[in-house]
């Protein structure tokens, strides 16, 4: 039988050779190639996985921070709004009170003024009445110097003075006080 003609011929020598070669290759590769390569690969995968985890955590953390920041901002804004409103209210009420007081003051001042005017007027009337009486008396004296005896003329003067008094009293009642 030709050696080369058979695809199925057994060759123990070849089996021995290949067993040795394959085993040596396997051991060398395991020691110097597969070990370093697979350890590097798993190390890299762990690094990537942990970086991803950390990135995710950081993202969650930043979202949490952002959330709390927004919350704080909202609170602060609300606080500011409240303060502003309070201040505005305060100012409004202060102004209202001020206006009220001013108005009261003005009223009282006017009343005071009116009273003063009334008093002055009364006084003026009084002095005018006195003056008129004096003038009348003076006039009367003058007349009397002419015809003092005439009783009818005297009655006339008295009548005139009375009339003055009554008309004055009817015009301003406070003049009597």
Partner 1 sequence: MSIGHLLSTLVCFTVLLLPFDSMASEEEEFDAVHHTADAYYLDFLPFAKVELPRLFIVRHELSGTQLLAYSSTKRALQSGEMLPYPDHASDEPHDDEPHTASPVDLDALITSGKHLDSKLIPREGALLLDLSITKHLVFSILASGILLTIFIRLARRYRRGIGRTSAPKGVFQNLFETLIVFVRDDIAVPNLGKENSDRFLPYLLTAFFFILTCNLLGLVPFGATATSNLNITAVLAGFTFVLTQFNGSKDHWKHVFWPPDMPVLVKFLLIPTEIMGLFTKPIALAIRLFANLTAGHLVILSLIGMIFTFTQLFGEVVGYGVVPISLGFTLFVMFLEILIAFIQAYIFTILSALFIGMAIASHSHSEAH
The residue ranges that bind partner 1 (CB under 8 A) are 1-19, 21-22, 24-26, 28-30, 32-38, 40-41, 43-44, 47
Give me the least distance between CB of 76 and partner 1, in Å please.
45
| Residue 12 or 177 having the CB closest to partner 1 | 12
Give me the least distance between CB of 48 and partner 1, in Å please.
10
Angle at CA 52, nearest 5°, toward 58 and 45? Answer: 155
Give me the least distance between CB of 79 and partner 1, in Å please.
50
**Phi and psi of 118, rounded to 5°?**
-60, -45
| Residue 4 or 173 having the CB closest to partner 1 | 4
Residue 175 CB neighbour total at 10 angstroms: 19
Buried b (16+ CB within 10 A) or exposed e, 9-32: eeeeeeeeeeeeeeeeeeeeeeee
| Residue 45 or 134 having the CB closest to partner 1 | 45
């Amino acid at each position: 039988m030709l050696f080369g003609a058979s695809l199925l011929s057994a060759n123990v020598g070849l089996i021995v050779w290949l067993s040795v070669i394959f085993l040596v290759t396997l051991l060398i590769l395991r020691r110097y190639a597969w070990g370093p390569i697979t350890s590097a690969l798993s190390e890299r995968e762990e690094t990537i996985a942990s970086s991803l985890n950390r990135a995710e955590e950081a993202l969650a953390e930043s979202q949490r921070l952002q959330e709390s920041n927004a919350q704080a901002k909202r609170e602060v804004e609300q606080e500011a709004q409240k303060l502003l409103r309070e201040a505005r209210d305060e100012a409004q009420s202060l102004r209202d009170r001020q206006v009220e007081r001013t108005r009261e003051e003005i009223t009282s001042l006017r009343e005071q003024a009116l009273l003063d005017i009334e008093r002055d007027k009364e006084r003026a009337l009084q002095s005018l009445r006195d003056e008129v009486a004096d003038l009348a008396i003076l006039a009367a004296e003058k007349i009397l110097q002419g015809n003092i005896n005439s009783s009818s003329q005297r009655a006339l003067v008295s009548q005139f003075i009375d009339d003055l008094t009554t008309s004055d009293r009817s015009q301003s009642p406070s003049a009597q006080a």
